[in-house]
Chains A and B, each alone.
Chain A
Amino acid sequence: MRVMGEAVPAPKAFERERELADALRALDAAAWRQLFEEQYERVYRYAYLRLGNTAEADDVAAAVFVEAVKGIRRFRFRGPPVAAWLLRIAHNETVDALKRRARRPVASLEHPEAAEALQARDEIGVADEWRDLAAAMGKLRASHREVLTLRLIEGRSVEEAARLLGKKPGAVKVLQMRALKALHSKLEQ
Chain B
Amino acid sequence: MRKRQDEIVDECVERLLAGEPLEDVLRSQPGRAAELLPLLRAALSLRLAPHELADELTRSDAERGMLSALEHETERSRRFASICARWLQSRPRHALAGMAAAVLVVSAVGGGAVAGVRPPLLDSFFADSRESQTSSVTRTGAIVSLDRDLLGLETAEGIQRIARSTLTIVLLGEQEIPWDNLRVGQEVDVRGSVRDDGTVAADQVHIKPQPQRGPDRGAGAGNNNNPGSSPGRGPSDDGPGAAPQSPGNQGPKQDDRGGPGSGNNNRPSAGQGR
Contacts and interface: CB of A to CB of B under 8 A. Distances in A.
Chain A interface bracket (under 10, 10 to 19, 20 to 34, 35 or more):
35 or more
Contacts of A54: 53-54, 58
B213 interface: no
B267 A173 contact: no
Contact of B255 (A40, A49, A102): A102
A13 to B, nearest CB: 15
A65 B59 CA distance: 11
B51 A180 contact: no
B164 interface: no
Interface stretch (B24-32, B220-228, B232-240): B232-240
Contacts of A2: 51-52, 54-56, 59
Interface in A123-148: 125-127, 129-130, 133, 137-144, 148
A38 to B, nearest CB: 12
Contacts of A65: 62-63, 65-66, 69
Contacts of A42: 49
Interface residues of B, number: 76
B53 A48 contact: yes
Nearest to B61: A62
A3 interface: yes
A57 interface: yes
Contacts of B4: 173
Nearest to A143: B174
B237 A138 contact: yes
Contacts of A181: 39
Given A58-B54, A65-B66, A80-B274, A141 B241 contact: yes
Interface string A147-186: 0100111010010000100100010011011001111100
A176 B10 contact: yes
Contacts of A27: 70, 73-74, 77
A137 B197 CA distance: 42
B175 A70 contact: no
Interface stretch (B40-48, B93-101, B107-115): B40-48
Interface string A55-99: 001100110011111111111101010001100110111111011
Interface SS, B side: helix
A40 B50 CA distance: 11
Contacts of B206: 166
Nearest to B167: A88
B70 A102 contact: no
B46 A141 contact: no
A140 B240 CA distance: 8
A58 B58 contact: yes
Given A41-B51, A62-B62, A92-B268, A158 B10 contact: yes
A166 B137 CA distance: 11
Interface in B1-50: 4-7, 9-10, 13, 17, 38-43, 45-47, 49-50
User: Top 10 closest A-B pairs, CB basis?
Assistant: A71-B270, A92-B261, A74-B271, A139-B239, A95-B258, A102-B255, A71-B271, A62-B62, A102-B234, A65-B66
